[in-house]
Structure 1
Amino acid sequence: MKSTNIIEEQFIHVVFFWLINPNNESDRDEFEKAMHKFLNSSVYAKNKHFGQPADTNRPVVDASYTYCLKVTFNNLEEHSNYQIEPAHKLFISEASKLWERVLIYDSES
């Protein structure tokens, strides 16, 4: 399949998080702090995006999640290394108590 995007990396990792208490400001602050620490420390994640649902109200848009993370990697090997890197493991240990659901979509070109 011919790629039509302008992202140079070949592997895209998109993660959706649903917090247990999405309206709890303290939980959100704790999650955001852990995420920013992780993103600033990751050796493998290239292009990074961390955000919340956009204010788009259309039937095909699922805005039920609390946060979205998108990171890119040059290849599958970098993604595999990212999964076991200390920064990623620390993020999971710090933040996993705050979420009730995680959904991941990976794609490769």
Structure 2
Amino acid sequence: MKKQTRRNFLTATGILGGGLAASAMPLGKKQNKKQVIHHVFFWLKNPNSKEDLAKLLAGLQTLKKIETVRAIHIGVTAKTEERSVVDATFSASELLFFDDLAGQKTYQDHPIHLEFIKNCSSLWEKVIVYDSVDI
């Protein structure tokens, strides 16, 4: 059995660390792609209507089927403490993750998204969208 020396240990650690770092790096064009986060807030015309909220939430669930959606979170206003920086006036929100801008564009033009707008836009009074990319 070979005696472990400090030099052998450092060499092995360096090789292992370099291999791990290289494996974590994206290959090819992916290095230039930035994940897109699409956060949408909805204010219902009838904010006290449980039926309207249920229809909106059901419509949002259909968006999971769009192939470029990597992750989705659908939620309603949380009952957190009131603070001046918290806007708790919205009825529902969706948070979507895409690999890149092309994936987000596919989502925008997708028949399932267009059908959601057609079926649910009469429910909301206001919509605000926040889109961001990784830095």
TM-score, normalised with respect to structure 1: 0.86
Alpha-carbon deviations, 1:46-74, whole Å to 9, x = none?
11100011112211101110001100100
In percent, how many aligned pairs have the same letter?
A: 37
Two-structure CA RMSD over aligned residues (Å): 1.2
Equivalent residues, number: 100
Ranked by relative contact order (alpha carbons within 8 Å, sequence separation 6 or more), the top structure is: 1
What letter is aligned with 1:51? G
Structure 1 runs of 4+ aligned residues shifted over 4 Å read none
Unaligned runs of 5+ in 2: 1-33
Other structure's SS at 1:89 match: helix
Give the Cα separation in 1 of the matches to 2:103 and 2:89.
Answer: 30
Matched, 1:12 2:31: no
Matched, 1:84 2:124: no
Match of 1:29 in 2: 54
Match of 1:93 in 2: 118
Shift of 1:21: 0.4
Higher helix residue share: 2
Matched, 1:43 2:74: no
- Asked which structure has the greater CA Rg, the reply is 2
Give the Cα separation in 1 of the matches to 2:63 and 2:69.
Answer: 10
CA contact (8 A) 2:53 2:91 kept: no
**Match of residue 97, structure 2, among 58, 68, 72:** 72
